[in-house]
Amino acid sequence: MSNAPINRAFTNESPINEASKSSSHGLNDKKVQQVLLTLLLGGTVVSFSNSALNPAIPVFMSVFDVDIVMGGWVLNAYVLAMSVGLMLSGYLNKKFPFKYVYLAAIFGFMLGSVIGMLASSMGFVIIARAIQGLSGGLIIPLSIGMLYQIYPQQQHGRVMALWGIVIMMSLAFGPLVGAYLVEQFAWWTLFAITLPLSMAVMAMVWWLIPDMRSHDKKSPFDTIGFVSLLIWLLAMMVWLSTLKIDFTGGLLSSDGLLKIATLGLLSIGFLLSAMVWWAYERRQRHPLLNVRLFNNKTYLHSNIISISQTVGLMLCLLLLPVLIQDVMGESALWTGVVLMVATLIASITTHYAGKMVDKQGARGIGIVGIAISALSTLMLAWCLYQPTLWLLMLIMSMRGVGVGLAYLPTTTVGFSSLPKDAVTEGAALNNISRRIISTIFITLSTLYIGSRSAQLLAAGSSDGMASAIQEILVVIAVILLFTIPSACKLPRSP
């Protein structure tokens, strides 16, 4: 595959070479390049680790003898812990120098890698991923906030495209490297491989990142908002981990109706408590998460799109390894190959989409991207009747085009619509919204797949797992289609 799109990202058009005209903090050309490269490597560590572990989920399930629900918590623990990091990122960015918060986050990620290497049970693997998620929840919004501060608005599309290319490249090669390590060595090497990269990032941050401080160091911490949201997240996690969906007795029986009623009441309770917390945060002068940013309609609609795209992406990352390795009986290396090709396509698409956003806005790009994402998801469900590796690769590549058009360009426009000093808060709010909703959806989906496949197998079906996955994919496609009106609300021009 040609590297031309990537090489052109570092030509005279690139944000790196326009750095001397871009910094709003008095940084010279060389210093801005150093900051950018350091942040790119830090984001690479987080993204590579996350994607490298995805093909290993069936391996964890086999080694530690757990089911798909417990295996799903390798993703869910990371996502929920990342939500906590995202809650803290805005406050810590204001209270302490960027350099030291970033160093602490990278060190935490390294600590999670060490615990993962030494894990003797699935519980310790989940704890390791939670620590890494907490650290990643700090690294991502801090990086995005810094990039939006040192580059002017007219370059946001290109610098975020460059960010997207590097991150997606790590996402692309992560599954292949992870699959190779699992096949040739052992699962614990998935954690060990990130240690050298993490140490390199720490050294670069210490020597290359300037001691930049926020002008708003006196903002009080929203303790009530933090504690209440943390309790809500923990309660939801406990509830979801103990939730059971049983189709065998029939949903219309008295026992089935009682289960539905209980599930409905608990769901309403969680929803109402979330609404109370939301109302409280809107009234705070210094909120934990600045939910008032959703008053900006461009930012709101870009978040709706990014949430739906994240739900689809996370479920594909979870279900594709299960489909290829458990249903089709193929090697983990094939999971890595399929994901690598799809993500490479997405990264190239993101590069060109970033340039287009700077010139013509995100409305048309977003609509086309959502439509392709939804259509490819339906095609993925259809191909499960007789799944083949080449067809999976083709459809996932098509899906990569849709994600490349719909996700990063629309998110970039949403961040650009905010004041520069609010981008870190906006990135945190965007990420935590995506993580919480995707965690709920992933957990409910794995519960549904486990119970539904058991019901189909009991009824004599030989492909119960594939049929259950098909049904979930159709639901994802419908959700994606419902976000097209949000894309229509995005600005026509930059």
Q: What CATH code is carried by the domain that includes residue 26?
A: 1.20.1250.20
Do 390 and 344 lie in one domain? The reply is yes
Q: Are residues 325 and 272 in the same domain?
A: no
Residue 298 and residue 217 share a domain: yes
The residue from 265, 283, 301 where one domain ends is 283
Residue 493 lies in a domain: no
**Maximum CA pair distance of the chain?**
71
Residue 39 belongs to some domain of the structure: yes
Q: What domain count does the chain have?
A: 2
Question: Tell me, what's the pLDDT at 494?
Answer: 61
Q: What is the pLDDT of residue 195?
A: 92
Residue 253 and residue 186 share a domain:
no
Q: Give, as one character, the DSSP assignment of residue 295.
A: G
Same domain, 106 and 146: yes
396 and 350 co-located in one domain: yes
How far apart (Å, rounded) are the C-alpha atoms in residues 184 and 129? 22
d(CA 232, CA 277): 9
Are residues 136 and 278 both part of a single domain?
no
Structure tokens at 54: 């995805």
Helix or strand holding residue 398 (H, E): helix 389-406
Q: How far apart are CA 421 and CA 423, in angstroms?
A: 6
Between CA 234 and CA 241 the distance in angstroms is 10
Which of 266, 283, 300 is a domain's end point?
283
Q: Output the CA–CA distances (angstroms, integers) from residue 346 to 52, 373, 400, in the order listed.
A: 17, 11, 4
For residue 259, the model assigns a pLDDT of 64
In angstroms, how far is CA 211 from the centroid of its own chain? 29
**Does 241 lie in the same domain as 337?**
no
Asked, for residue 144, whether it belongs to a domain, the answer is yes
| DSSP tag of 251 | T
Whole-number pLDDT of residue 245: 56
Q: Are residues 269 and 365 in the same domain?
A: no
Domain boundary among 241, 256, 283: 283
Pair 279, 327 in one domain: no
Q: Which positions of the chain have pLDDT values less than 50?
A: 1-14, 16-24, 248, 250-254
In a domain, 43, yes or no: yes
For 199, residues 6+ apart whose C-beta sits below 8 A from its C-beta are: 110
**329 DSSP assignment:** -
Structural domain containing residue 250: 223-283
| Distance separating alpha carbons of residues 334 and 176, to the nearest angstrom | 8
Task: Please indicate, yes or no, if residue 465 is contained in any of the structural domains.
Answer: yes
State the alpha helices, DSSP H only, in 54-192: 57-63, 68-95, 98-117, 122-150, 156-184, 189-192
Query: Are 139 and 259 part of one and the same domain?
Result: no
Residue at 478: amino acid letter: V
Co-location of 276 and 342 in the same domain? no
Identity of the amino acid at 273: S
